[in-house]
Amino acid sequence: MSVKWFKGSSNQGSVPGKIKIPTTDDVLTIHDTVDVAVSYGDEVKLRKIVPDNMGDGSQDENQKPVFKLQQGAELQNIIISKPGCDGVHCKGANEVRNVWWEDVGEDALTVDASDSFAGKIEIIGGGAWNAKDKIFQINGPCEIHIIDFYADGFSKLVRVNGGSKFKVDIYIESLIARNGSVLIKSDSPYTNITIKNSDLIKVGKLTEIPKEAKIKKTDVRIW
Ligand code: ADA
Ligand code: CA
Ligand code: CA
């Protein structure tokens, strides 16, 4: 099928409806992490990736990532099938467009940076379902943009690695998030959050962040 972009947020004054994961007839089973140096995924056609023997999708931390994006690499038009394993790892300055997680494994996407600034990680379009814990796990300083995204079922949408104190800028626009506990959790006082034009449906809390962290929100609708 050709790709239909998901445009987040209702902006209609009513609760946005549920959306379903797209389907495709292009299905590929993989047995090891796909290491992406430059780019992976077709311009228009969606491909579903089925990870085999790479982890069981539980909370076990030793599962393989489905994709590893090297510095500057991009990923587009992908469905990551159950069991999800350790999702997508981003080394830095990555673009992740129209990527769908059918059933999030240990987590969906990790910013796999340590001490040095990982640049801007852009997640545009796509969605994730059924995360037992986290969707976006940030393990190093970066700027992360989450735009036109759909999330249904999570403990945290974004978690800055527990106990970390690095600088992180989190920009969220046109998100629909439903059935979650906390949208953003961080222990870093250098957390800077912007959230615009988004709908939160049955989400327990917007943030768990230190008092020094900054948050700016406009047009956030809580249902
Ligand atoms: C847990 C764990 C971290 C890291 C993270 C992840 O938070 O404590 O060390 O492994 O998960 O990246 O999944
Ligand atoms: Ca984890
Ligand atoms: Ca993980």
Residue 63 beta carbon below 6 angstroms from any ligand 1 atom: no
Q: What pLDDT shows up at residue 2?
A: 39
Beta strands in the chain (DSSP E): 27-30, 34-36, 39-40, 47-51, 67-69, 74-80, 88-90, 95-101, 109-111, 120-124, 127-129, 134-138, 142-147, 150-160, 168-173, 176-185, 191-208, 214-222
pLDDT at 115 over 60: yes
**Atom number, ligand 1, closest to the C-alpha of residue 106:** 13
Alpha carbons 59 and 198: distance in angstroms, whole number:
28
**Atom number, ligand 1, closest to the C-alpha of residue 134:** 13
Q: Supply the pTM of this predicted model.
A: 0.96
Alpha carbons 76 and 56: distance in angstroms, whole number:
24
Rounded to the nearest whole angstrom, what is the distance from the C-alpha of residue 12 to the centroid of ligand 3?
36
| pLDDT average, residue stretch 172-177 | 98
pLDDT at 3 over 50: no
Alpha carbons 166 and 117: distance in angstroms, whole number:
9
Structure confidence by residue, pLDDT tens digits, 78-103: 999 999 999 999 999 999 999 999 99
> Smallest Cα–Cα separation from 108: which of 140, 73, 174, 152?
152
Q: Return the CA Rg of the chain.
A: 16
pLDDT at 1 over 50: no
Rounded to the nearest whole angstrom, what is the distance from the C-alpha of residue 86 to the centroid of ligand 2?
8
Separation of first and last alpha carbons in the chain: 33
